[in-house]
Every structure is written in structure tokens, then in C-alpha cells.
Amino acid sequence: MNPFVAIAPEVQAALSEGRAVVALESTIIAHGMPYPANLETALRLEAVVRQAGAVPATCAIVDGRLRAGLSEEEIERFAQKGRSIAKASRRDLGYLLSRGLDGATTVAATMIIAHLAGIRCFATGGIGGVHRGASATFDISADLQELAHTPVAVVCAGAKSILDLGLTLEYLETFGVPILGYQTDEFPAFYARSSGLKVDYRMETPEAIAQLLKAHWGIGLRSGAVVANPIPELYALNDKDMEETIAKAIADAEHQRIRGKDLTPFLLARIEQLTGGLSLKANVELVCNNAHLAARVAQALVARHHQGFGAV
């Protein structure tokens, strides 16, 4: 085992016994939501995964080690400390590990930890992507390159709708990352169920997703996969209203000259203000929905292994 990686005993036992495990990120705890909503959501996510028959592995950097699985006390500490904890993507890992620091992992960093631990399924809210105006700023999330190179399935409600969704899909196509729509033909737009953009393949069941992932990785392809799972209709927000809200939030960010890793947290917080909290509720429900599906996909992958299809 890599000396920089520590796997929680419950997670290690599940992996050793061939049981389903789902990775969860920690940026949503420290940077994605205010306290105590972040703590409540993190614990609810773990409960959703357990209720669906899998073991949750919330990932983070704790005292300079990559952790797959946190205790409830550690989750609460991350929730309370919030944005004082570093937001950690791929480029930040070496620094945080070398200094013995804490870090809240993004999609990219969580994928790295999951892969090192042997976890194949990861649930998040929405992936990062190509930012609007990227032709001038070159602002493209490291999540996309991680999906191109790290064999982990990421269950999400599409990409965050603050992004240029069309260019995000083009980028993923270039790097051979399959976009699987769970019971949908359209790529979801985070708060909204549709974007007008098509997924690569519509998948009706977790078992069908597992079968495709098995084939994808079985021939030696090293990329991940996006499992696009629309927000439940009950909690979906109107796409036209959200577009106006996002445009306002982006204008505010430009006025305040907010850039880089501070941009997404600012936009999400501003959108929450502009929607009177509706976007936060939608965010919580969509990520819980993703955690449930990820647990089912993880179970299906385990079942295929036990049926004699070999390791994935």
C-alpha cells in the first residue's frame, strides 16, 4: 500500500471482502455548503449509500495523508472549519502531503484517492468543466483531465450549470470519456433535468452501466466515465430562470474579479442567495440521488465480479 494512503478499516474490510464501496468527496463539505447544512448533507450522503447496500468512503487529506473513509468526528471537523481548509485538486496533493496539512478533495483529487484505494464508483453533485469564456481565460477544470486518465465512474447530475456544457462535452469526447445517461437521452444541467445536449449512450439500469464499465476497462482503456443522473423532477429548477440567475452571478464574479479555484464556490453561494435557498436544497437532493445510484452501480460491478467475469 502507498504510504501516503490510509483506508478506513470499514472500507478496507468491504474491499477485501468484495463488497460495494462508493467514494464521496469532501469539497462539498468544506467549500460547497454553509455550516451546518454541509455536515447534515455529508452524513446524509453516507446514510444513503449504506441504505442502498454499499459502504461509503468520504475522501479527504488529513494530516498529510490521502484518506479513503472518514470518521463522523473528522467529517464534523471539516464542516466546522469550512473554507479555512485548502481546496485540493491534483496539483495541490504533493504540497499538502509534504507539509502534513488537511485538504478538501475536489472531483479530480477524490478520483485519485478512489483509484489508489481500489474504489471504482464515486458520487458527486456535478463535475467541473470548461468555464464560460474559456476561449479567453483558458479556465478548464482539472476534473476533465482526471476523467481522461483515471478509471473511476463518476455519478453526477451532469456538469455544474455555471459552465459551458457544450464545450465540456466536446472536451470529454476528445479524450474518450463516455457520457452515460441514466434513463435519459439528454445531458442534465445540474439544477435542471435537461440541457438540450445529448449523452453518448442511454442506460436504463445500473446493471447495464456496470456491463459497459466492465467492457470499457476490460480492454485496457484507462479513462473514467461520466454517469449522468438527472436531478429528481420534484426538486428540479426551471432552466430558463436558472440561466438568468447564473448570468447574474457570473456578472457579479467578473465585477469583483474573482478567478481560479475561488470562482465556483463564489458562484454557487451567489446563486443560493439569488434563489432564496432553492438552489441549495436542489443541490442536496441531487447529490443524494447520485449517491443512491452510485451504490447500485457499485453493487452491480461487484455482482459481475462474483459471477465470474473477472476483476474490473
User: How far is CA 299 from each of CA 18, 20, 21, 74, 173, rounded to the nearest angstrom?
Assistant: 10, 5, 8, 27, 27
Neighbouring-strand partners of residue 225: 153
Contacts 24+ apart (CB under 8 A), 191-194: 191/161, 191/231, 191/236, 191/237, 191/239, 191/242, 191/279, 191/282, 191/283, 191/286, 192/161, 192/231, 192/236, 192/237, 192/238, 192/239, 192/242, 193/230, 193/231, 193/233, 193/236, 194/230, 194/239
Catalytic pick among 87, 160, 186, 214: 160
Q: What is the pLDDT of residues 169-190, one digit of tens each?
A: 999 999 999 999 999 999 999 9
Q: Is 30 helix (H, G, I), strand (E, B) or coil?
A: helix
User: Contact, 293 vs 156, CB < 8 A?
Assistant: no
Average confidence (pLDDT) over 287-291: 98
pLDDT of residue 310: 43
160 in catalytic set: yes
**Ramachandran sector of residue 218 (left: φ over 0; alpha: ψ -120 to 50; beta: rest):** alpha
Residue 299's pLDDT is: 98
Chain segment 261-276, per-residue pLDDT in tens? 788 788 888 998 999 9
User: What would the grid cell of residue 150 be?
Assistant: 483515471
The predicted pLDDT at position 264 comes to 79
Pick 138 or 202 by higher pLDDT.
Answer: 202
pLDDT of residue 133: 85
From the list 25, 46, 76, 146, the catalytic residue is 25
Residue extents of the structural domains in the chain: 5-309
| Cβ partners under 8 Å of residue 256, min gap 6 | 266
pLDDT for 244 beyond 80: yes
Contact between 42 and 30 under an 8 Å Cβ cutoff? The reply is: no
Give the mean pLDDT of the chain.
Answer: 94
Contact (Cβ atoms closer than 8 angstroms) between residue 105 and residue 42: no
- At residue 312, does pLDDT exceed 50? no
Which residue type sits at 151?
Answer: P
Judge whether residue 305 has pLDDT over 80. no
Is-catalytic flag, 25? yes
Tell whether the model's pLDDT for residue 62 goes beyond 70: yes
* Architecture of the domain whose range is 5-309: 3-Layer(aba) Sandwich (3.40)
With 60 as the cut, is the pLDDT of residue 283 above it? yes
**Percentage of residues in the chain having pLDDT higher than 70:** 97
Under the banding of pLDDT at 50, 70 and 90, the label for residue 311 is very low
- Note the pLDDT of residue 307: 63
